[in-house]
Homo-oligomer: A and B are copies of this chain.
Amino acid sequence: MAVVPARDRILQTAFALFYARGIRAVGVDLIIAESGVAKATFYKHFPAKDELVLAYLDKVDTIWSGQLRDAARAAGDAPGEQLVGMFDALASACRREGYRGCAFINAAAESVPGTAVHQRTVAHKESVRTWVADLADQAGAADPAGLARTLTLLLDGGLADGALSADPRVAEDARATARLLVAAATA
């Protein structure tokens, strides 16, 4: 057995390639070659490409949700501050070399509504929004769900625009607007 199990190597390779080039643009043959795995091994772990895509999205969800929570926590204990602080994760993401937008929005762009991949995207966005709504509630917002909708709207806009513009002020704008909204909603 290799130092790192075949399944992990496949998923790691797929993670990098899917994000960098898009899901449909990357064939399983390439993933197999890059991860140095046999074809039979690949299909043993992922009976169909779609299952690998789903595993990829799960991995992204774990990572991104973690970064969001870390950034929020780093802003202090006050829920209102955390709502603003999570936008630091956006700024970090956009600064990253090879940043190419939100993996979920990208995946949704490549899939038809109703498919498992598309549904996974919707579920991810909803889970983030639920977490934000919880924070908004703790912050004493008059309409936590509404504030959460608006803040995630801002977050997704930053995620999308960050890929289309090299301007780092985009993330700053999103953060500043978030601060304004949080202040207005918890006044």
Q: 1/0 contact trace for A36-54 toward B, CB 8 Å?
A: 0000000000000000000
A60 on the B face (CB < 8 A): no
Whether the Cβ atoms of B158 and A153 lie closer than 8 Å is: yes
Decide if the interface of chain A is mainly helix, strand, loop or mixed: helix
A24 on the B face (CB < 8 A): yes
Residue numbers in B under 8 Å from A104 (CB-CB): 164
- A interface residue count range (under 10 / 10 to 19 / 20 to 34 / 35 or more): 35 or more
A78 on the B face (CB < 8 A): no
How close is A100's CB to chain B, nearest CB, in angstroms?
Answer: 7
Whether the Cβ atoms of B165 and A157 lie closer than 8 Å is: no
A contact set with B: CB distance below 8 Å:
20-22, 24-25, 100-102, 104-113, 121-122, 125-126, 146, 149-150, 152-161, 163-165, 167, 169-170, 173-174, 176-177, 180-181, 184
Of the A-B pairs whose beta carbons lie under 8 Å apart in the complex, a sample of 24, sorted by A's number, is A24-B25, A101-B109, A104-B164, A105-B160, A107-B109, A108-B163, A109-B109, A109-B110, A122-B164, A122-B165, A125-B165, A149-B169, A149-B173, A150-B173, A153-B158, A153-B161, A153-B173, A154-B177, A155-B157, A156-B161, A157-B157, A157-B158, A177-B177, A177-B181
